[in-house]
Structure 1
Amino acid sequence: MRSALWLLALFGIAVAVALVAGNNQAVVTLFWPPHRVDISFNLLMLLLAGLFTLLYVALRAVSVVFSLPAEARRWRAQQKERAMYAAFMDALSHLTAGRFIRAAKLAQNAITQEKSLKQLARTSSDVGGYSAARSTQLRLLAHLLAAESAQALQNRTLREEHLQQALKTSTHRIAQETREGVQLRAARWALDDRDPAAALELLNQLPQGAARRTLALRTKLRATRQARQTSQALETARLLAKHRAFSPPAAQSIVRGLALELLGGAHDPTQLQAAWQSLDASERAMPELVIHAASRLMALHGDADMARSWLLQVWELVMQPRSEVSDTQRIKLIHVLEQGLDSIDAAWLARIESAQQQRPRDANLQYLAGMTCLKRQLWGKAQQLLSQASLALQDVTLHRNAWRALAVLAEQRGDESGAVQAYRRAAEV
């Protein structure tokens, strides 16, 4: 369609010229004393058009001749740029293929080409297509490839040399983003060298926005765990869970493990209470954490009433008809409650008795109720409950403790043979 329109336009122009010039009888007289030249107006127009065309072609030729040096410089810069990108791509390919020595050499070649191109652009202002930001970005990436190859070859000296070159401050925004990536990669190298302090230092140098990225938080989580900074690791794990960096079960497992480590690191009741208060409400509702915190508090000779107040929510979960509390956690709960039976109050006595009556066939509750009666010197009821529990207990520790308690009750009655038999059964468990 466009060609047809152009053809119609040419025909229109030709018709217009024919109409104007065909009947044009005008004559132009040129006086050059003592000569006089008479030419037609149409011929004058043709001569002027030819002269204009000749001058235009001459000027273009002169311009091309004078621009040849600049074109030569542009061509050389283009060739250097192509060689630089080719060396970089080859280095990346060799690094991916595991040919680290060749990758390091080609990355160094790319850096050399970039320096040469930069020097050429600095001395010649007519080098077109040169971008300082992109050139700096490629230099940073080339240093990163060389450092990555050196890391794979366990050449830490060469790695640090290229790393320091890559970490030089740049004013270009694109190069600055690449520099942040180099810092993140350097932090991972420090973790591979088991140097979490260096990794955390590199992560702390990142801008606030970059430090909250998922990759940075993952690296920080590894670094804080290696450095035994459990509190910071727990906070980082919470941020990762908030950003959905892990699946919900995996995030819960990681947070739970770090919280257990934080509680286990307390060395006195005050530290333990501070660690417990630092947990989120959702974390303080996890049965594993509640039982572990209460057990740790009892082991540190803390307040037994406080431990039982923590355990109350888990006890209520256990008493539900379809409780999700596992058998292992139930047994741990029994162990923790057993440790504080000396100072147990009336409310907890009522809870234990009511639970045992509601579930008369639960051996664990029978054991707990029997040990409670033993502490209260209710010998007959303790004998009955512990005898029933000893026949069905699955946990080795509870089973052994039940037989030892029966041996104590037998000694209390003066039944030496029964005590010996009970001690023997405890030893056999």
Structure 2
Amino acid sequence: MRAALWLLALFGVAVAAALFAGNNQGTVTLYWPPYRIDLSLNMVVLLLVGSFVTIYAALRALAALLELPHQARRWRVQQKERAMHAALLDALTHMLGGRFIRSRKAAVAALSQENALAAAGETVPHGRQLRALAHMIAAEASHALQDGATRESHLQDALQQAPARGSVNEQEMREGAQMRAARWSLDDRDADAALERLAALPQGAARRTLALRIKLKATRLARQTQDALDTARLLAKHRAFSPSAAQSIVRGLAIELINSAHDTAQLQRVWMSLEPAERNMPELAIHAAQRLAALGGDGTLVRAWLLPVWERMVDLPDALAEHHALKLVRALESGLDELDPAWLARIETAYQANPRDARLQYLAGMACRKRQLWGKAQQLLTQASLQLGDAGLRASAWRTLAELAEARGDDAAAAEAWKKAALSR
């Protein structure tokens, strides 16, 4: 379509020129005494157009001739810039491929090309960012080669090329370099240096997922369990882990924090520092209660920490894992000597509500023994010993039955119970 329009326009110009020149009778007379020159108007117009075209072509040719040195210079600079970018790409490619010596050499070559351009007075677009990136690639390769001195030298050069108050890209480059440096310190098992580098980050960059991951590993390496737990909570809120993984990490750190308590007062402070959702975790509540009991804490407080887990097991027996339920039973069994009437009533009510639960039968039987209800204790423990799946609880039930048989003078029943207790292990 465009070609057709151009063709129509060309025909129009030709027709207009023919109409103008064909019937044009005008003349132009030039007087140059003693001469007189008569020229047709068409000839004058053609001469003017031809002169203009000739002069314009001559000026363009002269400009192109004068521009040749500048074009040659631009071409040389362009070739150097291409060589610099090619070296930088080679450095990145070799680093990804695990050829760290070649990567460092290519990064140094890129820096040399950039220095040559700067010495020649040429300005490379994004030159500071390119230099910082080349230094970081060389530092990364040096870290892989375990060349700490060269790594630190390139790192400092990269930080100089990316000032803290520079452009947005320069700030991003500086923050990335600091994060990589923290990661290198973590690889060197130097947790203090990693935390120090992370502390130098701006507040916004320090809350990024990558920085928080590094901080989590560094705090765990430095045995700063409380900071590690706080960092894990932030990562869980940022959805850096799957829900199950986040729960597992938080649970492990909370257990480690509980284990670090050396007295009951410290343990209570640790327990109150946990979030409500964490205190409701069965494994945490049971472990904290066992730790409190081991430190000689108040039995009433121990059972208060166990109460939410107990209610969950009673209300939803399948909601609590078997090993957690067994730990709960053992924790309550260890405090039966000072069990208050409210807890005895809870155990009795739970057993009556679910008489087929062997664990509740066992716990109720042990409670009856503590209250010197020998007959009921023997009945409950006998039923429980036939259904318990845990070897430890089953052996404990048979041992208690053997002691009850010895107390009433039934040596045969006692011997049989001791035999079954031995076989249950």
Superposed pair shares fold, TM > 0.5: yes
User: Which amino acid is the alignment partner of residue 221 of structure 2?
Assistant: Q
Q: For residue 202 of structure 1, what is the aligned residue in structure 2? A: 197
Q: What is residue 8 of structure 2 aligned with on the other side?
A: 8
1:68 paired residue number: 68
Please identify runs of 4+ aligned residues in structure 1 that moved more than 6 A.
Answer: 414-425
Q: What letter matches 2:72 in structure 1?
A: A
2:87 matched residue in structure 1: 87
Q: Judge conservation of contact 1:241–1:251 (CA < 8 Å) in 2.
A: yes
| Partner amino acid, structure 1, of 2:329 | I
Query: Partner residue of 1:145?
Result: 137
**Aligned pair 1:345/2:337, yes or no?**
no
2:304 match: secondary structure? helix
Residue in 2 aligned with 1:181?
176
Aligned to 1:37: 37
Percent identity reads 61
For residue 323 of structure 1, give the secondary structure of its aligned residue in structure 2: helix
**Alpha-carbon shift at residue 39 of structure 1 (Å):** 2.1
Whether the 8 Å CA contact 1:317–1:323 is kept in 2: the answer is no
> Per-residue displacement from partner, 1:135-166 (whole Å, max 9, x unpaired)?
32222222222222222222222222222222
1:1-400 map, 5 Å: 1-120=1-120, 123-124=121-122, 130-131=124-125, 133=126, 135-168=127-160, 169-170=162-163, 171-400=166-395
- How big is the shift at 1:333? 0.5
Amino acid at match of 2:118: K
Quote the Cα distance in structure 1 between the aligned partners of 2:35 and 2:171: 78
Any idea what SS the aligned residue of 1:45 has?
helix
Distance, in Å, in 1 between the alignment partners of 2:30 and 2:258 is 111
The letter for the 1-side match of 2:144 is A
How many Å separate the matches in 2 of 1:7 and 1:143? 59
Give 1:328 shift: 0.7
User: Contact 1:143/1:163 (CA < 8 Å) preserved in 2?
Assistant: yes
Partner-residue secondary structure (3-state), 2:28:
strand
Further displaced range: 322-331 or 386-395: 386-395
Q: Deviations over 1:32-83 (max 9, x none)?
A: 4444433222222222222222322232233223322322221111111111
User: What is the CA-CA distance between 1:269 and the residue it aligns to?
Assistant: 2.3
- In the alignment, residue 172 of structure 1 is paired with which amino acid? S
Counterpart Cα distance in 1 of 2:45 and 2:168: 58
Q: Amino acid of the residue matched to residue 368 of structure 1?
A: L
Does 287-296 or 201-210 show the bigger shift? Answer: 201-210
2 CA distance for matches of 1:424 and 1:167?
75
CA distance in 2 between counterparts of 1:33 and 1:348 reads 139
| AA of the residue aligned to 2:323 | T
Residues in 2 aligned to 1:38 and 1:152: alpha-carbon distance in whole angstroms: 90
Alpha-carbon distance between aligned partners in 2 of 1:321 and 1:79, rounded to the nearest angstrom: 75
- Distance in 1 (CA, whole Å) between partners of 2:171 and 2:88 is 19
SS class of match (1:319): helix
Cα separation, 1, equivalents of 2:325 and 2:316: 14
Which amino acid counterpart does residue 149 of structure 1 have in structure 2? A
Q: Which amino acid aligns with 1:100?
A: F
Q: Kindly state the Cα deviation for residue 415 of structure 1 after the two structures are TM-superposed.
A: 7.0
Deviation at 1:105, TM superposition (A): 0.8
Instruction: Please tell me the residue identity of whatever aligns with 1:330.
Output: A
> CA–CA distance in 1 between the matches of 2:298 and 2:45?
114
Q: Please give the root-mean-square deviation of Cα atoms over the aligned residues, in Å.
A: 2.7
Is the partner of 1:28 in helix, strand or coil?
strand
Query: Cα offset for 1:408?
Result: 5.2
Unpaired runs of at least 5, structure 1: none
Post-superposition CA distance 1:86-133 (Å, at most 9, x none): 11222222222222211111111111112222333xx25xx7xx41x2
Give the distance between the partners of 1:237 and 1:391, measured in 2 at CA: 44
Shift, 1:416, TM fit:
7.9
Give distance in 1, aligned partners of 2:281 and 2:385.
30
The code of the aligned residue for 1:98 comes to: G
Offset, 1:391: 4.6
SS in structure 1 of the partner of residue 196 of structure 2: helix
Distance 1:416 1:160 in 2: 79
Q: Alpha-carbon deviations, 1:336-373, whole Å to 9, x = none?
A: 21232233221111011122233334332233223323
SS in structure 1 opposite 2:315? coil
Shift of 1:426: 5.6
Counterpart CA distance in 1 for 2:186 and 2:381 is 54
SS of residue matched to 1:14 = helix
TM-score relative to the length of structure 2: 0.89
Q: Which residue type is aligned with residue 259 of structure 1?
A: A
Give deviations 1:310-330, integer Å, cap 9, x for gaps. Answer: 222211111135522111111
Is the 1:298–1:304 Cα contact (8 Å) retained in structure 2? yes
